[in-house]
Structure 1
Amino acid sequence: MKKNIIVPIIISLVTLLSACSNQGTQSKNSDTQKSAPKTAQSFTAESSSEKSQETPTNHKKSVINFEQIKMGDYGSIAGDWKLIKATAKSNDITDSTQATLTVSKDSLTDGQVTINASGLRDSDGNHQLNYQKEQGALVAGLDDAAINYSIKFYPRGVTNEYNNGSKNLIVIWTSNNNYTEVFEQENSDADDSSSTSDKKQSELWNTEKDQKLQSFISEWSKTMNQDYQKYDGTNELEVSTGMSYPSDLANEPVKGQRASIGWSKDGKGSYEYNVVAIYNHNGTVPPLPSRITYCFAFHNGKPVVLVDQSRDGGGDFEETQNEKLNAGFDRIAKN
């Protein structure tokens, strides 16, 4: 009797244990299937994050953004800099000088002077800086100060007297003892494989964008029932009112105010408005003469479309109110 009771109990226990074992196995397999995609997704996200962080690093090492510097943004040159030469009254004092250069996104200082969006600050106070381009370098200087200063930014690849152009340079000069400091950015010789991409990202205007704008104007002009002639980069563009571009740009105000405006093939000239393309339509319906002249330009590094429809006199550029034209140029300039 006892044997008959024990045998069914044993069978039941074995069956129960087997079922539990199968459920455990299925549960483990289910977790593995669910967790595997998470692992792959996490790795991909981390890899993408790492790539997105690596690209700006190379950009900072190889490119000096002149337009950003003019506005007090030094992010393109932030990093480590070392003194490679120092002179005073034409004597080399490099070995006896402990000068250092600290560059952050918002300021640049060698311990004696500080440069930021407000200008240059020394022991005499703050002074406004004026910028201009000289032989591929950006030069910041003062107009009127008891002690004068000059700060030159040499991008990698620009020939200079201090190195072979292999690295970015910043040269700080002061009239006090005719003192000069030359700083070289460490690791600014980024891999050539990334320099082409960096250059393309830093370009405001190039041949590819110019061709895209020409195609856009060709289609847009049809909607306006107007035909436009483009300045070809060589021969003056003469309009029906007697003006000639780009030479007469220097004689025209912008928004009724005297402004610095001129031709700049890459949009990075020293003007307030750096014109990269000019299109003109001469009217055929009285009163004549009449014209519509568009200048596609960069103002403080940002795309802007100027228009002049004046019939007599020297003319006056205004920002166009044509939304399609503004949107088209903005899209082409930023891509």
Structure 2
Amino acid sequence: MKKVYIVAIFLVTTIGMSACNSKQSNQIVKESSKNSQSSKSSLPIQSASSTPQSSSIIKESSLSIGKSISPSTSMQIRKWNPEKNQRLSEFMSAWGIEMGQSYSQYNPNHNLNLYGLSIPWSVIDNNSTWKAAIDNQPIELKWSETGEDTGGYQLVDVYSDVNEKNSGVNHVYLFVIKAGNPIVLYTAQNQGNANNYLYLKETKNNELKTAFARIVE
């Protein structure tokens, strides 16, 4: 009887341990499966979070390239250039015919003799004691090939009918650009003065002002 009791206890213990081990094994399998699923489900989240960063990097790179290939200042259209010079020449020829006048072009290498004064050479870049003046105030007049130099009035062209056989008053037009703005200055001066000023004023001819402005722009 005692032996039977011992055997019964052994069987119960063995079955209990087997059931416990089986339960632990099932738990381990479930946890392993859960961790595996958790690991798999986290991958799309990481991938999604990396996509905006990649897009941001691409956009920034594109912007950087765009800036690097943008036109430089030297490539931009200048306020004055040979093409615009030619356009003004064509306009002055046609406009002169319309006005019953004939105009010639002048520059520092081909000056107008205005009653002994060389225009523009004598009134630009402090080349002589003479000064260009507006409203009785001397101005800084510079010869410019581009109209984009800093400071003062940038003189880009000169036209006059002084040496032509015109009836009435002769004209001298100085085409200048000041701070990017086109201005047509005019003088009909025919004598000197104590200040050695060449007196200038803005022309009142709207057709001439409008034409020059359009050419500069």
Query: Structure 2-normalised TM-score?
Result: 0.58
**Per-residue Cα deviation, 1:22-42 (whole angstroms, up to 9, x for no partner):** xxxxxxxxxxxxxxxxxxxxx
Quick check: 1:275 aligned with 2:155? yes
> 8 Å contact 2:108–2:119 — kept in the other structure?
no
* Alignment correspondent of 1:325: 208
User: Matches of 2:139 and 2:107 in 1, distance apart?
Assistant: 24
After superposition, the CA RMSD in angstroms is 2.8
Q: Is the 8 A contact 1:261 1:273 kept in 2?
A: yes
Structure 1: distance between partners of 2:90 and 2:216: 14
Between the two proteins, what is the percent identity of the paired residues?
27
Secondary structure class of the residue paired with 2:161: strand
Structure of greater relative contact order (alpha carbons < 8 Å, 6+ residues apart): 2
- 1:246 pairs with 117, 120, 126, which one? 120
Other structure's SS at 1:215 match: helix
Aligned pairs for 1:182-221 (under 5 A) are 190-191=68-69, 194-195=70-71, 199-201=75-77, 203-221=78-96
Q: How many residues align?
A: 144
Distance in 2 between residues matched to 1:275 and 1:234, nearest whole Å: 14
Deviation at 1:252, TM superposition (A): 1.8
Structure 1 or 2: larger helix share?
2
Equivalence for 1:300:
179
Structure 2 portions without partners, runs of 5+:
1-62, 125-130
Q: Secondary structure at the match of 1:277?
A: strand
| Structure 1 segment 27-46 matched on structure 2, within 5 A | none
**C-alpha contact 1:254 1:317 (8 A) present in aligned 2:** yes
TM-score (norm 1): 0.39
Relative to structure 1, is the Cα distance of residues 187 and 326 closer, same or farther in structure 2, using a 3 angstrom cutoff? same
Taking a change above 3 Å as real, the CA distance of residues 248 and 270 of structure 1, as seen in their structure-2 partners, is farther
Task: State the 1:238 CA deviation.
Answer: 2.1
In structure 2, do the counterparts of structure 1 residues 286 and 206 end up closer, same or farther at CA, with 3 Å as the change threshold?
Answer: closer
Change (3 A) 1:264 1:284: same
| Matched letter for residue 311 of structure 1 | N
Structure number with higher strand proportion: 1
Q: How much does 1:232 deviate?
A: 4.6
Equivalent residue number for residue 111 of structure 2: 236
Cα distance between partner residues in 2 of 1:318 and 1:271: 19
Tell me which residue corresponds to 2:189: 310
Task: Classify 1:301/1:245 alpha carbon distance in 2 versus 1 (closer, same or farther; 3 Å).
Answer: same
Which whole-Å CA distance do the structure 2 matches of 1:210 and 1:257 have between them?
29
Alpha-carbon offset, residue 285 of structure 1: 6.3
2:113 and 2:201 map into 1 onto residues whose CA distance is: 19
Which residue of structure 2 aligns with residue 145 of structure 1? Answer: none
Listed as ranges, the matches of 1:20-169 within 5 Å are none
> Partners of 1:301 and 1:325 in 2: how far apart?
18
Which consecutive residues of structure 1, in runs of 5 or more, have no partner in the other structure? 1-57, 59-185
Runs of 4+ in 1 over 4 A off after TM superposition: 186-189, 283-287
